[in-house]
């Protein structure tokens, strides 16, 4: 059964990159990039990631195994235009996805076909359409939401995500781009509930996979007093 899944590396205080780059100078030298690379070093060092990029070496450990597992599970991808544009040159003629990629954008473009089975289809009618198109070609495998953070929040807000795996790196950035912020459009006394379904720990990162249970109202309980009537006891 096709699931819609997402992976995101975050700092202990919930950032997936440093402060947003303002466009002045090189992105690679920006605070945004510094924060991003700090929390994704475990990925870049992994043999499974390096092998997909055509590089030799790298660590062959539990973190690398999770990277390899993620690649194998994906039958199609959905990503934002900024990520697609930023990766087009570094990924080269044979990007690491080896599957169809659907790019959510406001600017149309012809399908971009690359070696190894990767293609980039530019979807201009919204994230739900991109996910639907990805499902249609995933062959029963997962549709992987591949970033960035803004796109992932759109998918969560639309109720389209089935599983979220957070890779929590034991570092505190203090400031930067947060995965979860105010644009989830949660009503007063409403929350998105998740259930942890797998935890894998390594010295560099803790991997927690959640099932997305959906939006639920926040209801006061009796704080263990046993009255059985929520909110009736005086604090």
pLDDT beyond 60 at 44: yes
- How is domain 4-216 classified at the CATH fold level? Dihydrofolate Reductase, subunit A (3.40.430)
pLDDT beyond 60 at 233: no
SS3 122: strand
pLDDT beyond 70 at 26: yes
pLDDT over 70 for what percent of the chain? 95
Quick: pLDDT tens for 27-40. 889 999 999 999 99
Quick: pLDDT tens for 141-150. 999 999 789 9
Question: Rounded to an integer, what distance in angstroms lies between the CA atom of residue 234 and that of residue 220?
Answer: 12
Average pLDDT over residues 157-173: 97
25 touches 150 (CB < 8 A): no
């Amino acid at each position: 059964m096709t699931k819609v899944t997402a992976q995101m590396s975050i700092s202990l205080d919930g950032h997936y990159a440093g402060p947003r780059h303002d466009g002045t100078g090189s992105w690679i030298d920006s605070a945004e990039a510094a924060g991003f690379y700090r929390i994704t070093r475990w990925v870049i060092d992994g043999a499974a990631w390096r092998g997909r990029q055509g590089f030799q070496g790298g660590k062959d450990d539990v973190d690398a195994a999770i990277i390899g597992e993620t690649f194998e599970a994906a039958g199609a991808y959905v990503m934002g235009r900024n990520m697609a544009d930023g990766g087009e040159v570094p990924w080269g003629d044979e990007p690491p996805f080896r599957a169809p990629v659907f790019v959510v954008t406001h600017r149309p473009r012809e399908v971009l076909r690359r070696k190894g089975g990767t293609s980039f289809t530019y979807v201009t009618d919204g994230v739900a359409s991109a996910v639907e198109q990805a499902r249609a070609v995933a062959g029963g495998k997962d549709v992987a939401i591949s970033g960035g953070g803004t796109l992932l929040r759109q998918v969560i807000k639309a109720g389209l995500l089935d599983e979220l795996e957070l890779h929590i790196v034991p570092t505190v950035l203090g400031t930067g781009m947060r995965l979860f912020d105010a644009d989830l459009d949660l009503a007063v006394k409403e929350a998105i509930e998740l259930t942890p379904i797998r935890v894998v720990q390594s010295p560099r990162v803790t991997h927690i996979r959640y099932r997305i249970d959906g939006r639920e109202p926040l209801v006061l309980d009796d704080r263990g007093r046993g009255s059985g009537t929520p909110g009736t006891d005086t604090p």
